[in-house]
Amino acid sequence: MANILIIGCGAIGLELANVLASRGHQVTGLKRQPPVNPGNINFVAADLTVAADLEKLPTHFDLVYFIVSADGRNEQSYRDIYDIGLNNLLSRFAESNSNPRWIFVSSTSVYGQDKGEWVDETSLAQPANANSLWIRKAEQRLEEANPDNITVRFSGIYGPGREYLLRTARQAPLIQQTPPYYTNRIHQDDCVGVLAFLLEQHLVGAKLAPYYLASDDDPAPMWEVISWLAAQMNCPLPHIKPASDAAPMNKRCNNQRLKSLGYQFKYPGYQDGYSALISLLDGSKPSSCSQ
């Protein structure tokens, strides 16, 4: 069994911690405000943007996960996490002469392609916005620190508590129909599944690539997705939005590298994942359109 550190224990990090602990791994979580009932997880209360907070952080781990989100959508929030915070952590490990493998959670926003192109791990990652640039710089910083480190680029995450597209579909929004504006998704259960799977592959000595693109099998036009969601919830269909040249992040994500390694998606397409999510939500609260 492995000694694991998870930096950032939000919804995905905490669920991953519970999954790994249930499999017998020793799990430590770093979080500014640890939960009151930590269960089988050891927690260190620390703010990674404050170097002094990390002095009490152990460093002799077999593997480190970095699963941290910025506090806000502004550039300074992204710099705090992906530059200042990451460098504080790397400095702490360097001081202890410890260099475990990292699995760094990134985003497909590092791809600047916007014409509906297919992208994979070999595609140019040159983001157009400042926030994604900080994420890309963090990827490069970790690769320089240890070529064995792994970056996982998640596409749009959805699931319980991440219901933006459902809220959008209920409002009969304006959506571009032609040319298609492609979107990419991954259910948060598969986020946890991918991260746990990569640990398993690491422990059995599999040859792992430095980058994995983690998105489901079905990049689909936003018009198709919102129309389908609206129909499932008995909501009015979206309205056609005039085509625009401003279509950032219009791309299609190819997950073949991850699937070739052996990962099988729990929710391979948006209809699979959103059907389960709608059923779950209908059991706790009524749909605003179907009443």
* Domains of the chain by start residue, with CATH: 3-159+185-216+254-268 (3.40.50.720)
pLDDT at 238: 97
Helix or strand (DSSP H, E) at 187: strand 185-187
pTM tops 0.85, yes or no: yes
Q: How confident is the model at residue 289 (pLDDT cuts 50, 70, 90)?
A: confident
Q: Which position has the token pair 């983690």?
A: 214
Percent of the chain topping pLDDT 90: 90
Q: How confident is the model at residue 285 (pLDDT cuts 50, 70, 90)?
A: low
Q: How confident is the model at residue 286 (pLDDT cuts 50, 70, 90)?
A: very low
List the structure tokens of 272: 């699979």
Q: Using alpha carbons only, give the angle 214, 218, 219 rounded to the nearest 5 degrees.
A: 80
Q: Is the Cβ–Cβ distance between 86 and 66 less than 8 Å? A: yes
Mean pLDDT in residue range 141-156:
97
Mean pLDDT in residue range 76-80:
97
Amino acid letter at 88?
Answer: N
Q: How confident is the model at residue 45 (pLDDT cuts 50, 70, 90)?
A: very high
Q: What is the dihedral of CA 118, 70, 166, 265, to 10 degrees?
A: 50
**Spatial separation of the C-alpha atoms in residues 100 and 49, rounded to whole Å:** 20
List the structure tokens of 197: 């799977």
pLDDT at 174: 94
pLDDT 10s digits, 181-226? 999 999 999 999 999 999 999 999 999 999 999 999 999 999 999 9
Q: Is 33 exposed, middle or buried (0-12, 13-18, 19+ CB in 10 A)?
A: exposed
In this predicted structure, the answer to whether residue 254 has a pLDDT above a threshold of 90 is yes
Mean pLDDT in residue range 50-75:
96
Name beta bridge partners: 150: 103
Alpha-carbon distances, residue 128 vs 112, 133, 140, 152, 219 (angstroms): 6, 7, 16, 20, 21
Q: Is 8 exposed, middle or buried (0-12, 13-18, 19+ CB in 10 A)?
A: buried
What is the phi-psi region of residue 52: left when phi exceeds 0, alpha when psi lies from -120 to 50, beta otherwise? alpha
- Residue of 67, 93, 96 whose CA lies nearest to 82: 67
pLDDT at 291: 41
pLDDT at 287: 53
